[in-house]
Amino acid sequence: MSTVTYAGTPVEVDSEGFLEDPAQWNEEIAAQIAAENGVGELNERHWMVVNYMRESFLENGEAPSIRTLGKASGVQIKELYELFPKGPAKLAAKVAGIPKPRGCI
């Protein structure tokens, strides 16, 4: 665990850069994580995924699978990969300030 400063706020992150405490998250932090992880500037579609990811985690205590993400976030799988080419579930979770999804699907 280490501390990094995002958007002027010091936050705790794990070895892969995922926020340790989702409560430390805010939208400016999200934007900076996105920029640093090759996602670029967040548009409305990115936000749909990120918000769904975050709400789902806060509600269920775990991140949704890519299958669920494709069915329920309002953004289908093809577009998920266009928005987050290096792995939608993993990157959206990182931007959403929640732990790395551990599912195989």
Partner 1 sequence: MTQTMEQTETPTRSHEPIEKVSIVISKGSLEGIYPGLIMANGARMEGIEANVFFTFFGLDAITRGKQAKVKVATVGNPGLHMPTLAGAIPGVSALVTKKFASEMEKIDIPPIPEFIEMISDSGGALYGCQATVDMFGLDLEDFVPQVDEVITVGEFYEKSAGGQIIFT
Q: How far apart are CA 76 and CA 97, in angstroms?
A: 22
- Site map (CB under 8 A) of partner 1, residues 53-82, x = contact: ------------xxxx-x-----xxx-xx-
Q: How far is the CB of 43 from partner 1 (least distance, A)?
A: 20
Residue 7 vs 86, nearer CB to partner 1? 86
Out of 14, 26, 40, 86, the residue judged to bind partner 1 by CB under 8 A: 86
Q: Is 88 in the site for partner 1 (CB under 8 A)?
A: yes
Question: What is the DSSP secondary-structure string of 34-61?
Answer: HHHTT--S--HHHHHHHHHHHHHHHHHS
Q: Which residues contact 94 (CB under 8 A, 6 or more apart)?
A: 16, 17, 18, 19, 33, 37, 100
Q: Say whether 104 is catalytic.
A: yes
Joined together, the tokens standing for residue 71 give 């069915």
Residues that bind partner 1 (CB under 8 A): 65-68, 70, 76-78, 80-81, 85-90, 103-105
